[in-house]
Structure 1
Amino acid sequence: MSLKKIDPRFSLLLLFVVAAGLLRILGEGKITPFSNITPIGAMALFGGAYFTGRWKAYLFPLLTLFVSDIIIQQVFYPEFSQGGLLYQGWIWTYAGFTAMVLAGQLIIKKVNVPSLMMASVAAAVAHWLITDFGVWLGGCTDPTTGKLYTKDMAGLLKCYAMAVPYMKAMFFGNLAYGAIFFGVFELIQRRSTLRVVTNDQLQITNE
């Protein structure tokens, strides 16, 4: 294969996404002290902001999420797999993750602190609303009563209220890991011959 056919930008983006998946696995395995602060939201925002092909923005982060989910589920939480590869209600988690990628596409047109803040908030809220709607719909137990959440508005609101701490953790993960991913990537591309404009433009210059 000719070196001219190798896209260094795509390779670097893919490396960041894979690194986020590895960090997530290490966190879930308690190998790092940051198990409650997940990088998956930052990975979604990063992919949505930087992958120029729309399908790539969803495919590679979702594939990384899927592979890391399988490893985490089978290695650390096999009791929740119920004989399958993934956990119950996974479809809602993936829908929430897809919404976070969309937030990266729509909000981070230019990489700066305000856009990353807004995208981090939007991604955390979208993930919270979608995934915990699935928790409520799937008939999960209210930890304060030991009974199932009631199938009415009160039950849904209670389910959302109980998940607020997780939504906050998602926001802090989006912000912390997002600052690292976006910051390091921007630093690398500014110090190299690769000039990147999020989503739409790619220009290679010789300096």
Structure 2
Amino acid sequence: MFQSRVSIAILMVIATVISRILPHPPNFTPILAISLFSGAYLTDRRLALFVPIFAMFVSDYFIGFHDLIPVVYGFMVLAVLFGKQISSSLTKSFGFTVVGSVVFFVLTNLAVWATSGMYTLDASGLVTCFTLAIPFFQNSMAGDLVYSGILFGSMAFLNRTVFVTAKQNA
């Protein structure tokens, strides 16, 4: 069983790195989905935390490190903890994906507003920052829902078909 979890973890890291390196719409990545899925299905907490952080680190190595790494990586830890609450519920995975997208949007844009020097540090600057980020949020939400749907939907399908058949034959 340990080998299958490690294999899943390795595949998730590879898929995440490739998806971030290849051309894609801005912010349409599997990062939140991988973090939630790791939390939900990798029972070893260290492995669940390692997978998304390592995937981000490797892909950031290729595409460039940035000033928001503490916020982004910290959020990924939070998303893994969110994932621990999902278990195998598709409804919960959808809910946590939406909540995760919103929390990521708020945290990262607060950090951009507060630290980038691109916006005045007042209500007007905050509104401008969040307004200009809306197109990225749309892509993030879409990517998060698509990738979470693929990961959690595939696992639900496997749990109902392949894994049930394997248990019956054992």
| AA in 2 matched with 1:63 | F
More helix by share: 2
User: What is the TM-score when the length of structure 2 is the normalising length?
Assistant: 0.83
- 1:87 counterpart SS class: coil
Q: Which structure's relative contact order is higher, taking Cα pairs within 8 Å and 6+ residues apart?
A: 2
| AA in 2 matched with 1:87 | H
Matches within 5 A, 1:1-207: 6-26=2-22, 30=23, 34-36=24-26, 37-73=28-64, 86-106=65-85, 108-112=86-90, 114-141=91-118, 149-193=119-163, 205=167, 207=169
Distance 2:105 2:95 in 1: 15
Distance 1:54 1:111 in 2: 19
- 2:152 counterpart SS class: helix
Q: Relative to structure 1, is the Cα distance of residues 176 and 35 closer, same or farther in structure 2, using a 3 angstrom cutoff?
A: same
Could you tell me which runs of 5 or more consecutive residues in structure 2 were left unpaired when the two chains were aligned: none
| AA in 1 matched with 2:89 | V
Deviation of 1:189 after TM superposition, in Å, equals 4.7
**1:89-133, Cα deviation, whole Å (9 max, x unpaired):** 322222232232232223x23331x22221111111111111111
8 Å Cα contact 2:25-2:139 kept in structure 1 = no
| Pairs aligned (count) | 168
Could you tell me which runs of 5 or more consecutive residues in structure 1 were left unpaired when the two chains were aligned: 74-85, 142-148, 196-203
8 Å Cα contact 2:101-2:141 kept in structure 1 = yes
Distance 1:14 1:50 in 2: 14
Distance 1:10 1:206 in 2: 24
8 Å Cα contact 1:9-1:194 kept in structure 2 = no
- 1:168 counterpart SS class: helix
Q: Relative to structure 1, is the Cα distance of residues 89 and 9 closer, same or farther in structure 2, using a 3 angstrom cutoff?
A: closer
User: What is the TM-score when the length of structure 1 is the normalising length?
Assistant: 0.70
Deviation of 1:69 after TM superposition, in Å, equals 1.0
> Equivalent pairs: percent with the same residue?
30
Q: Identify the range of structure 1 (164-173 vs 184-193) with the bigger mean alpha-carbon deviation.
A: 184-193
Distance 1:169 1:70 in 2: 23
Equivalent residue for 1:79?
none
- 2:89 counterpart SS class: coil
